[in-house]
Structures are given as C-alpha cells and as structure tokens.
A = this chain, B = another copy of it.
Amino acid sequence: MATHKLLLLPGDGIGPEVMAEVRRVLAVIERKGLLAFEIDEDLVGGSAYDVYGKAISDEAVAKAHAADAVLLGAVGGPKWDGVAYEHRPEAGLLRLRKDLELFANLRPAICYPALADASALKRELVDGLDLMIVRELTGGVYFGEPKEITDLPNGQKRAVDTQVYETYEIERIAKVAFELARVRGNRVTSAEKRNVMKSGLLWNQVVTATHAQGYEDVKLDHMLADALGMQLVRAPKQFDVIVTDNLFGDILSDVASMLTGSLGMLPSASLGAEDPVTGKRKALYEPVHGSAPDIAGKGVANPLAMIASLAMALKYSLGKPDLADTLDRAIAAVLADGYRTGDIYVEGAKRVGTTEMGEAVAAAF
C-alpha cells in the first residue's frame, strides 16, 4: 500500500486540541489497514512566531510543498496583537496559500439535520441546506500591490490595498465551480460588484465566457455580492455552488457558515491546480472556525470541523471518496446520537469534551 505524506500544522489556540482528534482518526484508518500515512508536524502562526520570529519557517513551507495534504488547525490570538504586520500569525497561513498556489477554496455549508434547531434561522429555511462556496484564494485584495501605509506631508497617513484580477485567475476558479456543480446540483451563482468595481466587471465577463466554453450544461446566474449576502439570509437553499473572489468569499462564507447552526462544524479545502503529469494537486485542509483563544486548552473545543476537514482530504487528495463518506456519516451519526460539545449543546443532549467527541467519531467510523 502506498504511503500518503501528511503535514499537520496544529497552529494556535484550540488548533492542537482539535488536531489531536484528527490523529486519533488517522490511527484508526491505519489500524484498519485502509491507508498508510507518513505523518509530520510543524508550527504555524503565533506558535511559529514564538519559536522562529516569523509565522512560518521556510522548512515548514518546504514540507508543505512535499506533502500529499496539509492539515491546519487555526492561527492567531490576542497574545500576538502587538506583533509587526508582516509577522502576525495570519501571515503564515497566507504564505502557505500563496506559495502553494492554493487558488480554490472550497467551503461547504451543510446543515446537519440533528443541528437544524441550533441555527439562528427558522428551521424550514436551513433544514437540508447544502451549498458550496468556491472562493478564489490567491488573488484579489489579499495579495495585490501596492499594499502599504505611507506618511503624507500633512502629518496624516494614507493606506492602500489593491484588488487585482487577471483573466486566467478568474477562468480557473470558474472552472472549479462548474466542475463541482456538475457533481452536485448543476447550478453556479457568481457574485461580484460589477456596478462599482472594474475587477467585478472583468469577473463577470470571464465567468460568462468560461461558461460558454463547454459548461453550458451548468446553469449560471450572476448576483451582486451585496444582494447575495441578503439572499443567503433570506433563502439559503436557493443556492448550489457560489463562486466569488477572495474578500467577498471571506465574508460570505462566514455568513453562510453561521446559517448552519455552528461554525464549529464546517471544514474547508484549499486546492492548487492539477499537475498535468501526476494528476496530483497541492492541498491544505482547515476548519472554517478560528483559534478560539477564549476556550483554548480547556478540552471543550468542537473537533468536528477539523475531522470533517480530514474527510475533505480523503476525498480531494487521497483518492478515497468512499472513506470520506464513511467519516462524514460517522460525524452525522455521533450528532444523531446526541453527542454535543458546548458550542452546539442543547438541553437533554450528551455534553462531551473535545476528546470524547473525537473518540465517539473514531468509534462510529
């Protein structure tokens, strides 16, 4: 059996705790003889800064390049609020995304039936919700230059960020969205602000042109990003795949994740291009939630988003969609059995900590 190289980057806050539960599930997979792993671990974020003085070491980046999949916990926390901008914890994550060219960020928003009542939205609006946000991840205002704060002669400051998109960047993310739609509900909604932004105008044109190049079987709609934000709250089930830029994707996917009842539940995959020779693609998997410093180290964090991120890795990087399904079903079963960490606790459920939740999933797997 081929060995899969995994790099684990637990990061900050609750990252190490939830990553420990991924290790538990990986051990079960190996024990059952389903896959073999070569597992390495390194630092990212504030914990890397504390050791190396920067948010990720070159060595860790090199390991990420060599891995079949990177699993990342979370970065950041108030401890590093005073750190210089270029060394802040987030810089480690952003460097990984950029260096590995992980341009396609897949953020499913799924409402587990057992959790529908935990949503802020009325049950009928979210029950059965299953949408996928495809967020462009290596372009836009996150990386465009100039990006600087300068001193003006009048003693004031001037801050500039630059949103840049080139045709090929929009084309390749549109293709990812169309391909994904084909194995889902066959509908794509593209969101931008073409009425205000030139990059929105180009985005709209390139998505339309890409659609005409062999994706006509997929239904394509365009929606202004502000209107889409509204529609997400009003009637989220109208959507199948949403494709949008880096910054809109950041906000809209957070709004979408909250619809499902708990952020602690949602995974994400960040994918690079397929190598034309090996068919392999670089990939990083991480929960949508943050490092939750307020509950770090207490053993109460919800590990399900991190475990669901491993399921995405099984599907998109390790060639095991069947195992991914089994793992997803194990998560759903544990929830149906009433296991709940504090963030999703409801009256009458079995309140468990991070470890028990991980053990329950491992047992149900």
Contact = CB atoms under 8 A, between A and B. Distances in A.
A226 B249 CA distance: 9
Contact of A158 (B141, B164, B227): B164
Interface stretch (A62-70, A146-154, A179-187): A146-154
A121 B8 CA distance: 38
B163 A158 contact: no
A159 B202 contact: yes
B85 A201 contact: yes
A163 B164 contact: no
B166 A233 contact: no
Nearest to A261: B234
A198 interface: yes
Interface in A160-182: 160-168
A278 interface: no
Contacts of A317: none
A41 B125 CA distance: 42
Interface in A123-145: 125, 141-142, 144
Interface in A55-77: 76
Interface of A: 76, 85, 88, 90, 94, 120-122, 125, 141-142, 144, 147-149, 152, 156-168, 193, 195-203, 206, 225-227, 229-230, 232-235, 247-248, 250-252, 254-255, 257-259, 263, 290
Contacts of A121: 120-122, 233
Given A94-B196, A159-B165, A226-B250, 8 more contacts: A76-B195, A120-B121, A144-B160, A149-B201, A158-B167, A159-B198, A159-B199, A159-B201
B122 A160 contact: no
21 contacts: A90-B195, A121-B122, A141-B163, A141-B196, A147-B197, A157-B206, A158-B164, A159-B165, A159-B201, A163-B163, A193-B250, A196-B250, A226-B251, A226-B254, A229-B229, A229-B252, A229-B255, A232-B255, A234-B258, A248-B251, A255-B255
B235 A254 contact: no
Contacts of A226: 250-251, 254
A202 B157 contact: yes
Contacts of A233: 120-121, 233, 255, 258-259
Nearest to A117: B122
A229 B201 contact: no
